[in-house]
Amino acid sequence: MSATKQVMTVAELPLPALQQLLGRYGLSLVLVEPQAKIPGSYWGDSEAGMIGQTIYIRPDTPVHSFLHETCHLICMDEERRQHLHTDAGGETAEEDAVCYLQILLADQLPSFGKVRALLDMDRWGYTFRLGSAQRWFEEDAEDAQRWLIHHGLLDGQNQPIFKLRA
């Protein structure tokens, strides 16, 4: 079975839930036609894309990909966001923060949640030193958490603040 068939896709969630999550950050969502090329997709195929403050998906886009690209938009600074097209750029610490935040935001999506996000990240092939997304999140992600708090994206109770990095 291919990774795409093993992971949950955005077609399995209510579109308004995806739009609502993005709306909390002032971001936009565009759903493209099945089989159409996704604008701004770094990885191609069914992977989410991003241009400016818009996330692009199609029905077969993995939910984890939607969340990952969304979190790139949230975590990058305003200067990069203004010129964003396809490649988020950024440093390793920011990439770790993106992964951490996508796991937290998974709980904002009905029928997805943190447990499924961690499973889908492993199924898709994310790689972490400790061997799984869950072990990384629970045992080795303190730096990512601190980065998010430092940049005003998480509060002291590890809850998203729902604003973009300045």
Domain-embedded: residue 162: no
DSSP secondary structure string for all residues of the chain:
--HHHHS-BGGGS-HHHHHHHHHHTT-EEEEPPTTSPPTTBSS-TT--EEETTEEEE-TTSBHHHHHHHHHHHHHS-HHHHHT-BS-----HHHHHHHHHHHHHHGGGSTTTHHHHHHHHHHHHT---TTSSHHHHHHHT-HHHHHHHHHTTSB-TTS-B------
Number of domains in the chain: 1
Could you report the per-residue pLDDT of 43-102, keeping only the tens digit for each? 899 999 999 999 999 999 999 999 999 999 999 999 999 999 999 999 999 999 999 999
Q: Which pLDDT tens digit goes with each residue over 13-43?
A: 999 999 999 999 999 999 999 999 999 999 8
Write down the pTM of the prediction: 0.94
118 lies in some domain: yes
Structural domain of 132 = 3-150
Residue 159 lies in a domain: no
